[in-house]
Amino acid sequence: MKNLLGGKGAGLAEMNRLGIPVPPGFTITTEVCTYYYEHGQSYPPELDAQLREAVAHVEKLVGSKFGDASDPLLVSVRSGARVSMPGMMDTVLNLGLNDTIVEGLAQKIKAASGSPRFAWDSYRRFVQMYGDVVLGLKPESKTEADPFEALLEKKKEARGVHLDTELDEKALRELVAEFKAEIKKRKGRDFPDDPWEQLRGAIGAVFGSWENHRAVTYRQMYNIPSSWGTAVSVQAMVFGNQGDDCATGVAFTRDPSTGERRFFGEYLVNAQGEDVVAGIRTPQPINNASKRQPDEKSLEELMPAAYADLVRTYERLEKHYRDMQDIEFTIAKGKLWMLQTRTGKRTAKAMVRIAVEMVKEGMIDADEAVLRADAGKLDELLHPMLDPSAPKKIIARGLPASPGAAVGKVVFHADEAVAEAQKGERVVLVRVETSPEDIHGMTAAQGILTARGGMTSHAAVVARGMGKCCVAGVSAINVDYGKAQMSVNVDGKVVVVKRGDVLSLDGGKGEVILGAVPMSAPALDEDYAQLMKWVDERRRLKVRTNADTPTDAQTARNYGAEGIGLCRTEHMFFAEDKILAVRQMILADSVGERRRALDKILPMQQKDFVGIFKAMDGLPVTIRLLDPPLHEFLPTEDAQIAVVAEELGVKPDVVRARVAALHESNPMLGHRGCRLAITNPEIYETQVRAIIQAAVEVKRAGVDVQPEIMIPIIGHERELAIMRALVIKAADAALADAREKIAYTVGTMIELPRACMVADKLAAEADFFSFGTNDLTQTTLGVSRDDAARFLGDYVKRGIYPVDPFVAIDQEGLGALMRIGVDKGRSAKPKLKIGICGEHGGEPSSVAFCHSLGFDYVSCSPFRVPIARLAAAQAALKDR
């Protein structure tokens, strides 16, 4: 249903089916949107007749008539994509008014002894929204205020009032005229009087908003295909702006920040639509339990009957959807109307807590809790937080709108945030409040700070969705965009924070801190442990890590890694204490000289391996022998060359000549990996000896050591046969010297298409395969990862590859080769151990793919281990 009706339309239909009061309406499906874009922005011919029919049906249900001056039906025209894109597209309220109809409406209200002011308030809102959304009267520059808001402000000033609710009918009448005049002046268009023309215009604008800048940005961010389109819901208006027995609000059935089970939201009396979110007046807490200040007036106190209805409704909705809901409602003359329900966006912390508690409450089972968790989102939980023991200078407090920590330079504009982030700067975006136009800046920033807006403000909702830290509604700060600074009064002294100054934010506590606070590792709670226990009980794939240092290995182990799938030895070579010996080894012009250099390297490598084996006591460790081309270790700049020459006691020109000799046109396909050892076997021999001696050393210290030696860039079974013999000879010699017995295995990386095609022959020489999908992607697609930045973005934008193939496995192309590799490998050796160690090993869709191919394990960077565990469990559950 969601695919056709959009999330909003489906939610409305479902609530209606459940007998929950929803204003009558209908939904134009996403198919019409697709048609609209495929046919030069025109509608299917049958739409008009269907539209009239549907409106007639609504008229019957409501008992008033669209376009009728004596008893008019007003409607809202609302956008709704399959997945919610909060605030990204446009909505028009109170549609169906003109100068005649508004008078009719006012008369009708007067007759019912209501205040006609409300008719004009609705008209004012309609002209404003329609003028913006459909007629396109918007600010033309970064600094210009919204033209309608400017006129509204001016009017309030002229009348000496502060709030929109204080403007009387006369002021509203004037505003409508001023709005229309402004539209005419700046857009050269008359405001349409015909309600049907208004309706068609609004529907077109909603479809049009699918391709607006912020919607496109949002879709790219969340990988939402542009082909999905939006639906349009047309719905009879109910009015929260008819006086003090009316209200409008937004609520969450559980706390979207922490996951705590408490009903929680905000509302405004005598208000409409997005007033609560837009920060026009300060919204009030929905119930007494969520009051922050004693002088706040909750809905629970003010309209107890409607509040009780709301509680009953939210409980029903949560039970029905079996998930936390984000709801929108309006109270018209004491009666509650539901206007939206959707599965609420939440932080990772809330995601885990809600899932675990819902299992305990019996609402869902553990399988469902595991399936529901968003693997990509878990990442958030593993981010560092502000070190609780570090001293902090708190300069202001606001709402803890989205947890997490941010340290960065202050910027005041979204574009600036993007520009600075591109330069590699960490920034904190400070705004009076954010709007959908700021979305790209919010993406680029570490954290967001706003002076206005509540827990349901745009900044709060979007930041939580992004898993980004946000402190909102810090009313103590004064933001001055013109001067690019903010100021705040701290204990009677004004502190000025300028653009570029550093701030730290604590989104969980709502603290704004001057300067940079150091970060520390996150604390993972019991709910997380429970969820991951369920995860581990369900997955079949093992999860290992890619780690080159004992610290990384330990971190990964803490996150649940079950071994090392890739330990790269070259990083060790770069270490300052080793690089000289490594350069000596490379620059050697005889085998004897090379061996002498390698003899120096051996004990150092051995020490590296000892640390890693200890950290991985009881778990397998796959060590890859040297892979990159040798020139990568050599200096390129004259100054450095001079230093090396001096160190080695040769002339700089000797070094320079050797560097030049090692130059390759295409090093990715050059003298690297096992090819190094085909020409210079002593390099691998030394590495193997270091590995085995380290294994012996730790074994004697009581460690259960399980070395797996892996050969890179194998394409031919003869290569592998030679390498395998080399490794076994060197390893057995080292074991014999030490008079020890240690089981070890020898395997190969699969990172060339040829390796996949001859995998059966390779399997005869290998104890295991590990798919190196970074190189395999490069060699299969013929795309160099280091050069892809220039064009791959466009490929993804144009949908050639739906996702960057270096991020998620290209299952169709690369995947087909992998399947051949697995099938051939296992046909020769049915029990062949198979894993993956490319970056893809921690990406959820790729993990699922490896599961489907029957891999034994995936291996990924330490911080992605929990993500891979979850993705593996989900894949296993989907198999059932």
Is 91 near Mg ion (CB under 5 A)?
A: yes
Pick what 238 binds: ligand ADP, Mg ion, none; C-beta below 5 to 8 Å, kind-dependent: ligand ADP
- The smaller minimum CB distance to ligand ADP, of residues 85 and 561, is found at 85
Q: Is 542 helix (H, G, I), strand (E, B) or coil?
A: strand
Classify the phi-psi angles of 617: left when phi > 0, otherwise alpha if psi is within -120 to 50, otherwise beta.
Answer: beta
Q: Which of 165, 209, 257, 330 binds ligand ADP (CB under 6 A)?
A: 330
CA distance 216 to 218: 5
Binding track, positions 716-755, relative to Mg ion; x by CB under 5 A = ----------------------------------------
CA dist list (Å): 674 to 544, 714, 715: 24, 7, 10
Q: Where does this chain touch ligand ADP (CB under 6 A) — which range of 87-95, 510-518, 659-667, 779-787? A: 87-95
- The smaller minimum CB distance to ligand ADP, of residues 275 and 300, is found at 275
At residue 395, what are phi and psi to the nearest 5 degrees? -105, -15
- The smaller minimum CB distance to ligand ADP, of residues 235 and 504, is found at 235
CA distance 604 to 609: 9
CA distance 269 to 281: 10
Q: Which of 91, 622, 748, 859 binds ligand ADP (CB under 6 A)?
A: 91
Q: Where does this chain touch ligand ADP (CB under 6 A) — which range of 86-94, 170-178, 649-657, 705-713? A: 86-94
- The smaller minimum CB distance to ligand ADP, of residues 78 and 614, is found at 78
- The smaller minimum CB distance to ligand ADP, of residues 122 and 846, is found at 122
Tokens of 449: 């700070």
Beta strands in 424-554 (DSSP E): 427-431, 447-450, 469-472, 477-480, 485-490, 493-498, 502-506, 511-514, 519-520, 542-546
Pick what 676 binds: ligand ADP, Mg ion, none; C-beta below 5 to 8 Å, kind-dependent: none
Is 328 near ligand ADP (CB under 6 A)?
A: yes
Q: Is 240 helix (H, G, I), strand (E, B) or coil?
A: coil
Contact by Cβ (8 Å): 350, 256: yes
In whole angstroms, the minimum distance from the beta carbon of 248 to ligand ADP comes to 5
Pick what 76 binds: ligand ADP, Mg ion, none; C-beta below 5 to 8 Å, kind-dependent: ligand ADP
Q: Where does this chain touch ligand ADP (CB under 6 A) — which range of 180-188, 230-238, 427-435, 764-772? A: 230-238
- C-alpha radius of gyration, the chain, whole number: 32
Is 57 labeled as catalytic in the residue annotation?
Answer: no
Q: Where does this chain touch Mg ion (CB under 5 A) — which range of 91-99, 297-305, 344-352, 487-495? A: 91-99
- Give 107's contacts (C-beta < 8 A, 6+ positions apart): 70, 116
832, with CB counted inside 10 A (0-12, 13-18, 19+), is buried
- Which residues in the 506-545 window bind ligand ADP by CB under 6 A? none
Is 274 near ligand ADP (CB under 6 A)?
A: yes
Q: Where does this chain touch ligand ADP (CB under 6 A) — which range of 37-45, 236-244, 715-723, 814-822? A: 236-244
- The smaller minimum CB distance to Mg ion, of residues 230 and 340, is found at 340
- The smaller minimum CB distance to Mg ion, of residues 87 and 441, is found at 87
Sign of CA dihedral 471, 474, 480, 481: positive
**Length of the chain in terms of residues written:** 880
In whole angstroms, the minimum distance from the beta carbon of 257 to Mg ion comes to 19
Q: Exposed e or buried b for every residue in 507-532, given b needs 16+ CB within 10 A?
A: bbbbbbbbeebebeebebeebbebbb
Is 458 labeled as catalytic in the residue annotation?
Answer: yes
CA distance 693 to 730: 11
Is 682 near ligand ADP (CB under 6 A)?
A: no
CA distance 330 to 428: 35
CA dist list (Å): 97 to 66, 93, 102, 105, 124: 9, 10, 6, 9, 10
- The smaller minimum CB distance to ligand ADP, of residues 327 and 809, is found at 327
Q: Exposed e or buried b for every residue in 157-189, given b needs 16+ CB within 10 A?
A: eeeeeeebbebeeebbbbbbebbbebbeeeeee
H or E element: which one contains 327? strand 325-332
CA distance 127 to 29: 26
Give the rounded distance of the alpha carbon of 86 from its chain centre.
15
Contact by Cβ (8 Å): 325, 331: no
Is 340 near Mg ion (CB under 5 A)?
A: yes
Contact by Cβ (8 Å): 853, 524: no
Q: Where does this chain touch ligand ADP (CB under 6 A) — which range of 35-43, 85-93, 283-291, 350-358? A: 85-93
Catalytic residue among 837, 840, 850, 860: 837
Is 584 near ligand ADP (CB under 6 A)?
A: no
Q: Which of 30, 64, 235, 546 binds ligand ADP (CB under 6 A)?
A: 235
In whole angstroms, the minimum distance from the beta carbon of 302 to ligand ADP comes to 18
Q: Which of 98, 198, 290, 340 binds ligand ADP (CB under 6 A)?
A: 340
In whole angstroms, the minimum distance from the beta carbon of 849 to Mg ion comes to 36
- The smaller minimum CB distance to ligand ADP, of residues 114 and 611, is found at 114
CA dist list (Å): 356 to 527, 538, 612, 758, 770: 6, 16, 35, 47, 35
Pick what 563 binds: Mg ion, ligand ADP, none; C-beta below 5 to 8 Å, kind-dependent: none
- The smaller minimum CB distance to Mg ion, of residues 87 and 772, is found at 87
In whole angstroms, the minimum distance from the beta carbon of 165 to ligand ADP comes to 16
Is 693 near Mg ion (CB under 5 A)?
A: no
- The smaller minimum CB distance to ligand ADP, of residues 23 and 620, is found at 23
Pick what 468 binds: Mg ion, ligand ADP, none; C-beta below 5 to 8 Å, kind-dependent: none
Pick what 27 binds: ligand ADP, Mg ion, none; C-beta below 5 to 8 Å, kind-dependent: none
At residue 734, what are phi and psi to the nearest 5 degrees? -65, -40
Q: Where does this chain touch Mg ion (CB under 5 A) — which range of 332-340, 366-374, 539-547, 762-770? A: 332-340
With vertex at residue 268, the alpha carbon angle to CA 432 and CA 231, rounded to the nearest 5 degrees, is: 80
Is 777 near ligand ADP (CB under 6 A)?
A: no
CA dist list (Å): 532 to 613, 651, 855: 26, 59, 21
Is 457 near Mg ion (CB under 5 A)?
A: no
Q: Which of 58, 73, 93, 572 binds ligand ADP (CB under 6 A)?
A: 93
Pick what 504 binds: Mg ion, ligand ADP, none; C-beta below 5 to 8 Å, kind-dependent: none
Pick what 324 binds: Mg ion, ligand ADP, none; C-beta below 5 to 8 Å, kind-dependent: none
Tokens of 59: 């008229």
Is 238 near ligand ADP (CB under 6 A)?
A: yes
Pick what 93 binds: ligand ADP, Mg ion, none; C-beta below 5 to 8 Å, kind-dependent: ligand ADP
Give the rounded distance of the alpha carbon of 779 from its chain centre.
29
Of the candidates 212, 231, 225, the one whose C-alpha atom is nearest the C-alpha of residue 3 is: 231
Catalytic residue among 383, 413, 458, 851: 458
Q: Where does this chain touch ligand ADP (CB under 6 A) — which range of 155-163, 188-196, 233-241, 562-570? A: 233-241
For 241-305, give the DSSP string: -SSTT-EEEEEESS-TTT--S--EEEEEES--TTHHHHTSS--EESSGGG-SSTT---HHHH-HH
Pick what 199 binds: Mg ion, ligand ADP, none; C-beta below 5 to 8 Å, kind-dependent: none
Q: Which of 24, 67, 208, 273 binds ligand ADP (CB under 6 A)?
A: 273
Q: Strands 745-750 and 768-771, how do they pair?
A: parallel
Q: Which of 30, 242, 248, 450 binds ligand ADP (CB under 6 A)?
A: 248
Is 434 near Mg ion (CB under 5 A)?
A: no
CA distance 743 to 731: 10
Q: Which residues bind Mg ion (CB under 5 A)?
A: 87, 91, 328, 340
Q: Active-site residues: which are they?
A: 458, 837
Contact footprint for ligand ADP (CB under 6 A): 23, 76, 78, 87, 91, 93, 235-238, 248, 273-274, 328, 330, 339-340
